[in-house]
Chain A
Amino acid sequence: NAGVTQTPKFQVLKTGQSMTLQCAQDMNHEYMSWYRQDPGMGLRLIHYSVGAGITDQGEVPNGYNVSRSTTEDFPLRLLSAAPSQTSVYFCASSQGPGGNTIYFGEGSWLTVV
């Protein structure tokens, strides 16, 4: 019962470095999304995808890229990391609109120094 798997769990980056946060789900869910969690701000939507080949921006997309080449995977790319991107990142998936349960990964703690 893997569910939603995120890697890495912890990462420290230097300003300007690039990296990719991986997210995979094994539930054949169409809908996947990335959120970031910051103190006092709850979780905010970065990007989402309603199916393979389709992505769109959420509330805070700047500085992040995504792609969805398969149903299972939804990686989040930081092209040039900035200290403001220090956060906890959560990937989520669900079957699609309609109040179905949304499943979250365990989170990726990212620090940019």
Chain B
Amino acid sequence: GNSVTQMEGPVTLSEEAFLTINCTYTATGYPSLFWYVQYPGEGLQLLLKATKADDKGSNKGFEATYRKETTSFHLEKGSVQVSDSAVYFCALLSPGTDKLIFGTGTRLQVFP
């Protein structure tokens, strides 16, 4: 079946450091891929998405590229801020459905 695997956290960084959160997936067909973010005490917000191979999603300085050859959708940001501290979820959407399959989430802690 379809699944998403994320690197375990927490990821602890100093402000302005480079961020990578790894995400790989297993799916039949060509799923859409998403990153959601959950700030402390809040709900889920869509951060970025990509719907086909080689697409790059970007938002708020975050980027992720849909790599079909490596079945990956790693999240990157060149310079993190304290305000980026949150839990990040990678997710996929199987073609023809609106059922999201989530990874376990990665907590990011950024210190000044």
**Interface, chain A (partner B; CB < 8 A):** 31, 33, 35, 40-45, 48, 58, 90, 92, 94, 96-107
Contacts and interface: CB of A to CB of B under 8 A. Distances in A.
Contact of B44 (A48, A58, A104): A104
Nearest to A109: B41
B52 to A, nearest CB: 9
B102 A90 contact: no
A29 to B, nearest CB: 9
A20 B93 CA distance: 28
Contact of A42 (B45, B96, B104): B104
Nearest to B100: A102
A40 B46 contact: no
A45 B98 contact: no
B99 A58 contact: yes
B89 interface: yes
Contacts of B45: 104
B98 A33 contact: yes
Interface string B17-40: 000000000000000101010000
